[in-house]
Structures are given as C-alpha cells and as structure tokens.
Amino acid sequence: MCELYRAKNELTRALIALAGETRAKGWWHAYGDAIPDWFELYVGLESAASHIRRYDEALILGLFQTRGYALAVYQHREEVTEDERERLVQVRLQRQFLLTRRLPVAPRLEAVISEATLLRIVGDRPTMAAQLRHLLDVGERDRVGIRVLPLSVGLHRGVEAGTFVMLEFPLGNRATPDPPVVYSESWTGALYLDRPDEFAAYEKVWSSLDQLALDEGQSRNLINKIATEVHHG
C-alpha cells in the first residue's frame, strides 16, 4: 500500500513498525497456557481502556487482590498444578500495574463490590483481613473509586446480572473511539458484548447499582469495620 501511494520512506517505516506493533503479543503471553484464549482478549481490552466500571458479586476483583487472597482462590481448583497456580497468581499481580502506570495514563476505575464479597472468608482470617486493608489502600488512589453495595438493599439488578465489567476506550488518534464493551465471565468462557443496545442495558444496571451503593466514605468505614471484625475473629 505504501508503494502504491508512493509514501515517503520515513512514513513507510513508521507504518510498518506500527503494523508490527499491533500484532505484537502482550506481556500476558509469557504465561503460556495458564491463561485461556478467551481471557487473553479481556486482558488486552483492560490494558487499552480509559474507563473501567465493574460490579463484583462473589470475589474481590483481581486488580485489587493481594497475593495471599489470589493464592487462596486458586487453592480450590484441584485440576490446577502448583506451577500453573503460581503463574495464574503472577498474571493477576502483573495486571495490577495498570492502576499505577503513567503512560498511557492509568484508566479511571469505578468498582462496586457486594458486601457479601467482603464477608466471605477467602483463605484464613489473617489473609482476609490483609486483603480488606489492601482494599482500603487501593481506594485512596486518585483514579480509583471503591463503593460497597450493602446486603440491606435486598434484591437488586446486580444479583440477576452477576459480575460484569464495562470498558470504554480513549479516542487516541482515531476519528471515533473503539466501541465500549461489556465483559461477563463464566466458568468456561466469557461474553464480549459491544452492540449499542447491549451496552445501554448494562448502563441501566450500573445506574441502579450506583444509586443503591454507599458513597466512598461510607464504604471505607464499612470495609474498615469488617476488617477489624475479621482480624479479631
């Protein structure tokens, strides 16, 4: 194409380099078969996003997990070898650099977490208490917002929708940004929903959760209260 359009040598070299970069494998490929193909796509999208919104119904999200909590999650998978377990945990910890990177600027991350997730002891009590304290630390970062959805609200749309992630992307050098995507994971695969009507449906779910969740200050107080109770048994 460059030859056809008689592009200058400098532009040709730049375009060839850019084309090669788009095919380059991300850092997660170094972990081989520990990461299923359907999740590799998500890690790439997460890395490219400028705004991430997540609702977590069962477990604290991977971007916020401590090493101890992540290990405890994978201890329950009998089919996973010790080596695979270590690689899975490393992937989870490596992804967390997303929250502190400078270039490109870290995405804005809004997380709504079910109170049940905070009450569920993963690993042992010291592991869970450390995880809750880490959650408080992460919540102090400028581009991170953590809110808790209390059990007292009863049945809500998040119970039906389950855990999901909404990803939006920067404009970059394009005329229009990539379309936003909803990611919803299952035991054996995941859904990537990018039709406007699908994203709009999850916007309504998020709006409902946003109205029901505690504000960030109230959420911090509740997380701190639960952490203290867990620590003292």
84 near 129, Cβ under 8 Å? Answer: no
Each residue's pLDDT tens digit, 62-81? 999 999 999 999 887 878 88
In the chain, count H helices and then E strands: 9, 6
Domain ranges in the chain are 33-232
The pTM (predicted TM-score) of the whole model is: 0.81
CATH, domain range 33-232: 3.30.870
Each residue's pLDDT tens digit, 18-33? 444 343 344 334 444 4
Percent of the chain exceeding pLDDT 70 equals: 83
Each residue's pLDDT tens digit, 147-203? 999 999 877 887 888 999 999 999 877 777 789 999 998 888 889 999 999 999 999
Upper half-sphere CA count for residue 112 (Cβ side, 13 Å): 25
